[in-house]
Chain A
Amino acid sequence: MMDIVTVGLFLLALLLVPLYWLLFPRRTFSDSERRYLAEPPKLTSLKDWSFDDAVETYLADQLPGRDALVGLNAYTVLLSGRQVSQDIWRDREGYLVEAPLQVAPEQLQKRLGRMAALGERTGLPVYVMAVPSTGYVRRGTLPRALAALYRDDSLLGQIADAPGIRPVPLAETFLQQGQSWYYRTDHHWTGEGAYAAYRLFMKTAGHQALPYDAYYHHTVAGYVGSTRSRSALWLTAPDVLTIDEPMDAAVTLSFSDEEGTYPSLFFYDHLKEYDWYPLFLDGNHPVTLVDNGSAPEDAPTLLLVKDSFGNTLAPLLVPSYRRIVLVDPRYYRGSVADLCAQYQAEEILFCYSLERICTDLNLSILK
């Protein structure tokens, strides 16, 4: 009896998968991975002996229940204590945080030097805002052995000591109060985190910060961010996305890679997509211009060199600047100094997550 059940189930398992492949149309896009799945293998790959690999890659992408299986594996790894091998770690309170990147101090030093040189050449003040990593700020909730691996301390110290730039000191405030200033399912800061960073920047730059209630605060529930998709820990509850909108700013938005202008900082259409974060300033563009028609006459122009953290900081800065020029070095190939001259910028702010200053900030554009 047991033999027939065993054999029956085994054959069923082996046959169900190929039957599924035969009967159901092939998937072309994976939402959770945000990538196109592998194409069916071409016979031309027989020529370079890659046919067997191509078949395997294709089948792996088409495996029924793939996300669930990947999730099962993610929880197996988590529950057996092997988080250290993953890119994303879950802390005791269910926050999914990025594991520390291995960053060489020289990489940071080189970039800080370039930033100082930029300030010297343009004669403008260069502010550097490095956002400490979630894991570092929330290290009290991580297993001690993992928490010990974050090197933010020494990297932030390097920035604090760097000559020729003006560091925005986020770390202390974030370590004291910032445990909830990050999303559980995403690597970004929340509205609160961005606002705290905004205040610290305004203080460093000698400007008057607006109070928190000078902004409309909108929330959208059901936000699922990057750390959840990367970790495949599907049982993590979604976040509430926070949006801070300046109350009276006559905003005009334009992009270097697109025609036309937009009257808003927020693009709610992106809520229909899997990834919501492009809601802020329509996500990534090489150069984004934000003009504030209702700014005071003497309000300055800011050049904001940023990764995606800058997209939630910029709306908070809008009321205090006549114009903000956002530059994303991953897509912009020109020179930052030229941009400063072109738009007559009066201040330069680098806003980056700490580790990605080293990995993502393209050195050549700082020449």
Chain B
Amino acid sequence: MVFSSLTFLFIFLPVTLLGYRLLPKKLRIGFLLLASLLFYAWGEPLYVFLMIGSILVNWGIGFKVTGDGPHRKAWLVLSVALNLLLLLIFKYTGLLWDTVKGLFPAPLSEKAVAIRLPIGISFFTFQIMSYVIDVYRGKAKAQRSPVLFGAYVSMFPQLIAGPIVRYVDIEAQLDDPDLSLSGFAQGVGLFLVGLGKKVLLANGVAVLWRELAAMPGETGVLGAWVGLVAYTFQIYFDFSGYSDMACGLGRMLGFRFVENFHYPYIAESVTDFWRRWHISLSTWFREYVYIPLGGNRRGLKRQILNLLIVWTLTGLWHGASWNFLLWGLYYGVLLILEKLFLGRVLQKLPRFLRRLLTFLIAAMGWGIFYFTDFAALGTFFGSLVGVGNPGLVTARSWAWVLGYAPLLLVCAVASTPLGAELDRRLSEKKVWSWVRLLLGAGLFLLCLGALASQSYNPFIYFRF
């Protein structure tokens, strides 16, 4: 079930919110667990049992790695290995098989391996690992209640698209969620902003990208670039919109999740970009991979190796396809170059140029991210420089570019803190809170309009 669906908005959400807030305290978290399992089962009626199994096993292991029990380390290794094995089986089998098949085609070519990827497995597996590792490190206490632990892992707001909430960040809140009215109201605001980002902006520019990507070689150079920029905005508003909705829903339930995006497109370097993009994932890799590997404390060579390891894994985490590995390494190399000398060079440029450059680097990164097929990737990057794609624009791509220019401009402004700053300044005026309420209501209506239109499908064929 996705947040921007009518099933979620008008059936699941009202029932869950009312049940959760009205039930006595004792029953509340159990209700949330049940609702979350139902939420997951709606899209994954079989894999929900995989998740439940994983929750129970790791909850049990939690007691084995705590304190100074015997074989602590062995239990930790077992847990990490089990979790990675789950990812390996369900996420990477297809990729590995296809690769092996490519190398030894003769005996294997007939066989195909099709394992469907369980929704959100990358997210909940990482959350579970953060728990076991933090308990091992003594940063968190083993959770005695399987219900509380299950609710932490499966909590529906962050279950399928993050943010990756680390157990230590939410441990205290699980026992004592903040059920204040103001928290709920803030959650509503966050949720609506996220819904608008997803439904109005991301889905809006997605149409432009779909169109321009579908005519490689017929867009002209400008058309190809605008398409890439459209995708750059699409992926940001889609993902950050989803994160905002997750944080908003979390607030309505009384939980505060960490901020996952902090205006990544105003970043002034690649290093800065990754402090602002999918923060919960970068934090996870820093805490549980980069620092344990020694981080920057064992000399430059070791640091470079560590960065390459982290970014190989980050790339592959995003998807089981070699272009994601390439995408990860692209960033790994850029980050290393920035550490070595590029960062100092960049510092000498005017801020505007630094931002533009970083934005373009990110945009080209999304180009690598999008095309799982290397031939198509090559064609597209060729079209950015006019190879096989003559001219600046074509009549068709120009009509699309022109038509979407206003929305792209809205996306550009919405990628900056301007809106939040304006809201902060106006918030001292009393009338602003009413205006904001009206804006929120309008936003909700516009989103509903867009959702309703997806299924508007006049049957008029017989008229022609």
Contact = CB atoms under 8 A, between A and B. Distances in A.
Interface in A1-60: 2-7, 9-11, 13-15, 17-18, 21, 32-35, 46, 49, 52, 55-57, 59-60
A59 B399 CA distance: 35
Given A3-B181, A4-B181, A9-B437, A52 B460 contact: no
A3 B185 contact: yes
Nearest to B440: A6
Contact of B403 (A35, A83, A230): A83
Contacts of B462: 283-284
B446 A72 contact: yes
A103 interface: no
A82 B407 CA distance: 8
A59 B449 contact: no
Contacts of A353: 464
A360 B459 CA distance: 15
A4 B182 CA distance: 8
Nearest to A55: B7
A214 interface: no
A284 B464 CA distance: 9
B188 A356 contact: no
B29 to A, nearest CB: 21
A63 B6 contact: yes
Contacts of A52: 1, 7, 42-43
Interface string B309-326: 000000000000000000
Contacts of B433: 2
A35 B459 CA distance: 6
Interface string B61-76: 0000000000000000
A11 B403 contact: no
A57 B182 contact: no
B397 to A, nearest CB: 10
Contacts of A46: 45
A260 B130 CA distance: 79
Nearest to B402: A145
Which DSSP category, helix, strand, loop or mixed, fits chain A's interface?
Answer: helix
B464 to A, nearest CB: 5
Contacts of B189: 6
B145 interface: no
A277 to B, nearest CB: 6
A85 interface: yes
A80 interface: yes
A32 to B, nearest CB: 7
Given A4-B181, A7-B188, A308-B464, A85 B452 contact: no
A281 B455 CA distance: 32
B27 interface: no
B22 to A, nearest CB: 12
A18 B11 contact: yes
Contacts of A66: 452, 456
Contacts of A157: none
Contact of B181 (A7, A69, A84): A7
Contacts of B396: 149
B42 A360 contact: no
A356 B462 CA distance: 12
A73 B446 contact: yes
A364 interface: no
A98 to B, nearest CB: 10
Interface in A115-149: 143, 145-146, 148-149
Contact of A146 (B14, B182, B399, B448): B399
A360 B10 contact: no
Nearest to A353: B464
A323 to B, nearest CB: 25
B156 interface: no
Given A33-B459, A149-B395, 17 more contacts: A11-B14, A14-B17, A17-B9, A55-B7, A60-B6, A63-B452, A71-B449, A72-B445, A76-B446, A81-B405, A82-B404, A145-B395, A145-B398, A149-B396, A232-B453, A284-B462, A308-B464
Which 7 A-B pairs have CB atoms at the shortest separation, nearest pair first?
Answer: A73-B449, A60-B455, A3-B185, A84-B403, A72-B449, A35-B459, A69-B452
18 contacts: A3-B182, A3-B184, A6-B185, A14-B10, A17-B10, A52-B1, A52-B43, A56-B7, A60-B452, A73-B453, A76-B449, A82-B403, A82-B404, A82-B406, A85-B208, A149-B395, A229-B458, A232-B453
Interface of B: 1, 5-7, 9-11, 13-14, 17-18, 42-43, 45, 181-182, 184-185, 188-189, 204, 207-208, 211, 395-396, 398-400, 402-407, 410, 433-434, 437, 440-441, 444-446, 448-460, 462-464
Interface of A: 2-7, 9-11, 13-15, 17-18, 21, 32-35, 46, 49, 52, 55-57, 59-61, 63, 66, 69-74, 76, 80-85, 143, 145-146, 148-149, 187, 226, 229-230, 232, 275, 277, 283-284, 307-308, 353, 356, 360
